[in-house]
Amino acid sequence: MAKGFLSIVLHAHLPFVRHPEHEEYLEERWLFEAISETYIPLLEQFHRLNEEGIDFRITISLSPPLISMLTDTLLQDRYISYLSKMIDLCDREVERTKYQSDFNNLAILYKNKYQNDFNSFVNKYEKNLINAFSELQKSGKVEIITCAATHGFLPLLNLTPESVKAQILVAVQTFEKYLGCKPKGMWLPECGYIPEVENYLHECGVNYILIESHGVLFANPRPVYGTFAPIVSRKGIVSFGRDIESSKQVWSAEVGYPGDHDYRDFYRDIGHDLDFSYINPYILSDGKRINTGIKYYRITGKTQHKLPYNPAIASLKTEQHASDFLSNRLKHIDFLENNMDKPPLFVCPYDAELFGHWWYEGPEWLYNLFKKLDKIPDELQSITPSEYINQYPLIQVASPCSSSWGANGYNEVWLNKSNDWIYSHLHKAAKEMVEIANDNPNAEGLLKEALNQAARELLLAQSSDWAFIMKADTMVDYAKKRTNDHLSRFTKIYYDIKENNLDQEWLKGIQWKDNIFPDIDYRVYKRNP
Amino acid sequence: MNSEYSLMKDSFPVKNTKDQIWIVPKDPYILYVYFEISSETHSTFESIFGYYLWESSHLFLKISNLSTNTSQYLKIAPDSNNLYINIDQPNKVIRVEIGKMISNEFFIPFAGSNVVSMPNNNIIRDQSIHFENVLENKNIDKNVNTDLIYDKFKFNEVSQYLAPSSVNMFMNMEKINKD
């Protein structure tokens, strides 16, 4: 039996950024970059581990907006166009850099990478990455879990409990539709926990959640094993708390692996570095420079004089860092084994997009981590939370503390002077949604379509991403526009229903734009008994 | 209706016809409060107490700590409709009312808020330890030294390694690990 367990959990999420009304939209690039830099690289590394016969376990949360976008034919086709453009840019880069060997090798590497993405996406995955993740889940090595419907920050939506219910129920329904089974676990958006979420998790058959370290450490009564074992609430929901030390090794600005000087620099991108006339076809049509994804430099250090990126050296670093990560966990086990009567569990939740998009070498680091882990099964084993529950079902009863993984650990990232104005509108709309759902329990035809669209608009307005962007003070206009657009659309539908004056043509246009959750049933908002 | 809503880019209707006050915790110490006093309440007040009393009296929040059965009053600006208030009492159950204070003595409430629990921000010293076999749904008593892990690791503060949001990474705003 292993002396300890490691549970790596990746949360894959992007807000719903589908804009069929425009041929090109900056925010859709978030999805395309994430597919090329994170989702495909992760899938490739998992397949590589499988092919090499390496036993590994990883848990991946796929948020419903991400599932919706990855299965959307318009966005799939637009991703292919994005890849074609990237391959074209790489061709030009190979030519442009032909007398600069350091850069030319990298240009060729990028060209191969994007061509490989094209082949994998079109031929291997048949444009549907959700099916690819689903297939991996069948292997038993990858556990897919869900997140709230539109990543609503649940602690701030609970003024109308039906909002929390809808976020959870619609998420579970979406998961079942695309993954073909019920989710065993849920990543609470931003790890935002309040006790009330458990009512609905229980109702949906979700067994476990991931929460921030102090959500477990400040639980009542205090958990005897700290974060090194889960706790279970009176409602029967098992909470896994984030391990502090392993988080630090990846997230810390001072000592985190992604900041190593040999890793690829995220900021130096040819979209900003090259002549405008040359790069113009590959940036936004209004001439605004953006990151293209082609980056030639390593972090180098605290200097503006960056050295060329060397993939071979960076690859070696991923091995070293994987060894370092494991060695620290083993030291931790040495200490803990005298203080615990069962093997400690280290829960390591990260944003999936850290791996590949931000930390370019992150997927390879994961591959090396699992490869090395496979050689020490008696010391440390990877495990999914549901496997842990099955192996160690005796769990301390304790109620987690309200918490989140945002700055300072509670609600302030999503509730502060920059974004607090949204809550009176969101709460009002939620109450109105409950009202019209109750007033029309058996709607049919156009009325039913309008009620379903009202539910979609409310859910889209509730995404935690908009409040976060407002706080971050970049691209604030987009976040405000999305909040206003969805709430305005919701309000129009609400008054049209109240005045029995539905506008079919307008509704059709909105359904075409905001087509998330095609099977939603507005009755999810019926008042709680 | 159509043209009205399609033109709304920066604001949308939110006016309510009745008094309301809502509260949500920002963190263990600070509560966000938003409220609205309807014009109907204003006129009713004036018809009962007269114009002068409405103008000369102040709006107050009555903050009740339901865990300790104590309350305090906070004067608020006449033109405000939201504010952050320092509660200074983590892990307590709070309710807030809004109303007018007459002669610094009588509080006339207009509306009461929802009830919230302020988040906990420290280790709870409750020693009652129970275990449950979650597969069999059975409660089990087990003796465990509750001090072991906590004393060794000094778990007494919020982790300093809180994560940024994934959307942040696409906006290139915050340098997580790079200089």
Determine the residue of chain A that is closest to B173 in CA distance.
A474
**Unique residue bearing structure tokens 């966000």:** B32
The per-residue pLDDT for B88 is 83
B169: which chain A residues are within 8 Å (Cβ-Cβ)?
A: 351, 353-354, 357-358
pLDDT greater at residue B105 or residue A175: A175
Q: How far apart are CA A59 and CA A250, in angstroms?
A: 17
Residues of chain A with CATH 1.20.1430.10: 416-525
Work out the pLDDT band at B153, boundaries 50, 70, 90.
Answer: low
Determine the residue of chain A that is closest to B140 in CA distance.
A394
Structure tokens at B170: 């696409």
Q: If you count DSSP H runs as helices and E runs as strands, how many of each does chain A have, helices first? A: 20, 10
Q: Which of A247, A259, A301 lies at the smallest CB-CB distance from B159?
A: A247
Put simply, the answer to whether A253 touches B177 (Cβ < 8 Å) is yes
The per-residue pLDDT for B134 is 93
Q: Which of A217, A350, A411 lies at the smallest CB-CB distance from B155?
A: A217
Torsion of CA A185, A187, A193, A197, to 10 degrees: -50
Strand ranges, E, within A332-450: 345-351, 380-382, 394-397
**Unique residue bearing structure tokens 């060729």:** A108
Q: Which of residues 106-165 of B touch A (CB under 8 A)?
A: 114, 117, 119-137, 139-140, 142, 144-146, 148-150, 152-153, 155, 157-165
Residues of chain A with CATH 3.20.110.10: 4-18+33-71+128-264+309-408
The answer, yes or no, to whether the previous bond of A221 is cis (omega within 30 of 0) is: yes
Put simply, the answer to whether B124 touches A220 (Cβ < 8 Å) is yes
Tell me which DSSP letter residue B143 carries: -
pLDDT greater at residue A121 or residue B89: A121
Put simply, the answer to whether A484 touches B120 (Cβ < 8 Å) is no
Put simply, the answer to whether A411 touches B24 (Cβ < 8 Å) is yes
What DSSP assignment string belongs to A312-332?
HHHHHHHHHHHHHHHHHHHHH
Q: Which of A401, A496, A499 lies at the smallest CB-CB distance from B119?
A: A401
Q: Which of A156, A221, A358 lies at the smallest CB-CB distance from B129?
A: A221
Contacts of B106 (CB under 8 A, 6+ apart): none
Our CA-based measurement puts residue B113 at a distance from the nearest CA of chain A, in whole angstroms, of: 10
Computed over every residue of chain B, the mean pLDDT equals 78
Q: Which of B25, B140, B163 lies at the smallest CB-CB distance from A405?
A: B163
Third-level CATH fold of A4-18+33-71+128-264+309-408: 7-stranded beta/alpha barrel (3.20.110)
The residue among A197, A359, A365, A410 with the most chain B CBs within 10 A of its CB, best to mutate, is A410
Q: How far apart are CA A75 and CA A14, in angstroms?
A: 13
Our CA-based measurement puts residue A523 at a distance from the nearest CA of chain B, in whole angstroms, of: 24
Our CA-based measurement puts residue B97 at a distance from the nearest CA of chain A, in whole angstroms, of: 16
Put simply, the answer to whether A220 touches B165 (Cβ < 8 Å) is no
Q: Other C-beta atoms within 10 Å of A99: how many?
A: 7
Q: Which of B160, B164, B178 lies at the smallest CB-CB distance from A299?
A: B178
The per-residue pLDDT for A335 is 86
Our CA-based measurement puts residue A70 at a distance from the nearest CA of chain B, in whole angstroms, of: 16
Our CA-based measurement puts residue A413 at a distance from the nearest CA of chain B, in whole angstroms, of: 9
Put simply, the answer to whether A495 touches B1 (Cβ < 8 Å) is yes
What DSSP assignment string belongs to B48-62?
HH-HHHHHHSEEEEE
> Strand, helix or coil at A235?
coil
The per-residue pLDDT for B164 is 47
Structure tokens at A518: 């095609």
Q: How far apart are CA A78 and CA A86, in angstroms?
A: 12
Q: How far apart are CA A137 and CA A128, in angstroms?
A: 15
Q: How far apart are CA A56 and CA A35, in angstroms?
A: 23
Instruction: Return the exposure string of A111-149: e unless at least 16 CB atoms fall within 10 Å of the residue's CB, then b.
Output: bebbeebbebbeeebebebbebbbebbeeebbbbbbbbb
Contacts of A392 (CB under 8 A, 6+ apart): A229, A342
Q: Which of residues 132-161 of A touch B (CB under 8 A)?
A: 155-156, 159
Our CA-based measurement puts residue B51 at a distance from the nearest CA of chain A, in whole angstroms, of: 30
Q: Is A408 on the interface with B (CB under 8 A)?
A: yes
**Residue B175 above 50 pLDDT?**
no
B126: which chain A residues are within 8 Å (Cβ-Cβ)?
A: 220-222
Strand A345-351 to A238-241 pairing = unpaired
Chain Cα centroid distance, residue A503:
36
A336: which chain B residues are within 8 Å (Cβ-Cβ)?
A: 149
Tens-binned pLDDT, residue by residue, of chain A (529 aa): 899 999 999 999 999 999 999 988 899 999 999 999 999 999 999 999 999 999 999 999 999 999 999 999 999 999 999 999 999 999 999 999 999 999 999 999 999 999 999 999 999 999 999 999 999 999 999 999 999 999 999 999 999 999 999 999 999 999 999 999 999 999 999 999 999 999 999 899 999 999 999 999 999 998 889 999 999 999 999 999 999 888 888 887 678 899 999 999 999 999 999 999 999 999 998 899 999 999 999 999 989 899 999 999 999 999 999 999 999 999 999 988 888 889 999 999 999 999 999 999 999 999 999 999 999 999 999 999 999 999 999 999 999 999 999 999 999 999 999 999 999 999 999 999 999 999 999 999 999 999 999 999 999 999 999 999 999 988 899 999 999 999 999 999 999 999 999 999 999 999 999 999 999 999 999 987 7
| Range list of H helices, A244-310 | 244-251, 270-273, 276-279
Asked if A283 and A29 count as a contact pair (C-beta separation under 8 A), the reply is: no
The per-residue pLDDT for B18 is 83
Q: How far apart are CA A411 and CA A154, in angstroms?
A: 10
Structure tokens at A21: 């009304």
A73 exposed, middle or buried (CB, 10 Å; 0-12, 13-18, 19+)? Answer: exposed
**Residue B10 above 90 pLDDT?**
no
Domain spanning A416-525: which CATH class is it, in words? Answer: mainly alpha
Give the Å distances, CA to CA, from A250 to A315, A335, A402, B76: 17, 21, 24, 45
Work out the pLDDT band at B167, boundaries 50, 70, 90.
Answer: low
CB pairs under 8 A between A and B: 251
The per-residue pLDDT for B15 is 56
Q: Which of B1, B25, B152 lies at the smallest CB-CB distance from A411?
A: B25
Structural domains of chain B in order of their starting residue, each with its CATH number: 2-117 (2.60.40.10), 131-171 (no CATH)
**Residue B143 above 80 pLDDT?**
no
Q: Maximum Cα–Cα distance for chain A, whole Å?
A: 73
Q: Which of A222, A251, A481 lies at the smallest CB-CB distance from B123?
A: A222
Put simply, the answer to whether B159 touches A409 (Cβ < 8 Å) is yes
